[in-house]
Amino acid sequence: MVQLGRHYGTGPASLAEIAAEEDLPRAYLEQLVVSLRDAGLVSSTRGAHGGYELTRAPEAISMADVLRALEGPIAPMLCATDDPEHGILCDRSARCTVNVLWVRVRDAVTGALDSMTLADLVPPRTDPATATAAIAPIQPTPLQGA
Amino acid sequence: MVQLGRHYGTGPASLAEIAAEEDLPRAYLEQLVVSLRDAGLVSSTRGAHGGYELTRAPEAISMADVLRALEGPIAPMLCATDDPEHGILCDRSARCTVNVLWVRVRDAVTGALDSMTLADLVPPRTDPATATAAIAPIQPTPLQGA
DNA sequence: CTCATATCCGACGAAATCACTCGGATATCG
DNA sequence: CGATATCCGAGTGATTTCGTCGGATATGAG
């Protein structure tokens, strides 16, 4: 998650912290982080004052890596997957001309995802004092207004 | 569907025909074609010898049009949709830095989809010799089973 | 040592979506 | 009339997604 990018270099961050900042249930994050750890993107420290940390610098983690870790191989259709392992040939494969379309879409997606790293999504930590004030609800946001 | 592109110009094609060629349940296609008709991509002729026909040439129908008709607005996440109408602002919108990622992904997808038309997916009917096996120099409408 | 703080683990549950079905009404050609 | 089609809308079943729950295990501080 982006929050982990924010904390990079400042020691491990506990899920309780992140849950508070992201406003998501801790138990849910717990589940997500398992995938990230299995993918080798984060490391964990158990016990008091423990938490999670990025194993690499945010600049070195592409969003494609993150998404693959969280949601599996990138594939608009299961017949056009990133990962040769989980590729499933549909029985129509012979006469199916649509496959090339999905491959193109997939390549477009992976291209976009590869072009961005975690660092691109970490809000610039310019100045903590202006943080709260800068995000003042002056935005018109017509839909779903509180 | 692609089959409709194949039949373009040869009069309406019934769902029963298409179902046989595509090996999909007729009742299911019936449902899909409703969306295509509502989107103005196909026109229908009722009664015996009726069926469906493309309203435009395959070259003039982008796959983005088809996909939007079938699956709604193109959006990897509901906060990054094609269609301003169905856009839903999540409550995190202010501090959410991830949105730009989804917008990029969406643009990549629509770009890929816009770059292909139905005609690109219609198997070339110019010359049967380029098919899997060149058999007859005539035009016996290949692939049609019995 | 003990206790609070965390990660770890596995299973469960509700809600939405996807692919597909069913039954029947209506229009058109021969 | 009757066969062939589209039209229409409600319904089912499997899978996925988001989120929950309860408890076991590891670690640092007092």
Mean pLDDT calculated for residue range B62-85:
88
| Cα–Cα dist B1/A68, whole Å | 30
Provide the pLDDT for residue B70. 93
CB contact under 8 A, A115 and B105: no
Does the pLDDT at position A145 exceed 50?
no
The alpha-carbon gap from B45 to the nearest alpha carbon of chain A, in Å, equals 27
Provide the pLDDT for residue A146. 29
Q: What pLDDT, in 10s, does the model give residues A23-46?
A: 899 999 999 999 999 999 999 999
pLDDT grade for B96, boundaries at 50, 70 and 90: confident
Does the pLDDT at position B79 exceed 70?
yes
Q: What pLDDT, in 10s, does the model give residues A50-102?
A: 999 999 999 999 999 999 999 999 999 888 888 766 666 676 666 788 889 99
Q: Which nucleotides along chain C are within 7 A of a protein C-beta? A: 4-11, 18-23, 26-30
Query: What per-residue string of b and e applies to B86-112 under the rule 16 or more CB within 10 Å gives b?
Result: eeebeeeeeebebbebbbbbbebbbeb
CB contact under 8 A, A143 and B98: no
> Which residues, in sequence order, are CB contacts of A88 under 8 Å at separation 6+?
A78, A79, A81
The alpha-carbon gap from B46 to the nearest alpha carbon of chain A, in Å, equals 29
Does the pLDDT at position A135 exceed 80?
no
Does the pLDDT at position B74 exceed 70?
yes
Mean pLDDT calculated for residue range B68-79:
90
Does the pLDDT at position A137 exceed 60?
no
Provide the pLDDT for residue B133. 41
Does the pLDDT at position A134 exceed 60?
no
SS3 A45: strand
Pick from B88, B116, B132: CB nearest A143 = B88
Regarding predicted confidence, which is higher, B19 or B78?
B19
Tokens of A128: 């903590």
Contacts of B100 in chain A (CB under 8 A): 121
Residue whose Cα is closest to the C1' of C4: A48
Please give the radius of gyration of chain A, using alpha carbons only, rounded to the nearest integer: 19
pLDDT grade for A5, boundaries at 50, 70 and 90: low
Q: How many residues does chain B have?
A: 146
| Cα–Cα dist A75/A85, whole Å | 12
Q: What pLDDT, in 10s, does the model give residues B127-141?
A: 554 444 433 344 333
Regarding predicted confidence, which is higher, B85 or A141?
B85
Residue A132's identity, in one-letter code, is: T
Regarding predicted confidence, which is higher, B91 or A144?
B91
Provide the pLDDT for residue B142. 38
A10-24, A80-94, B51-65: the lowest-pLDDT one: A80-94
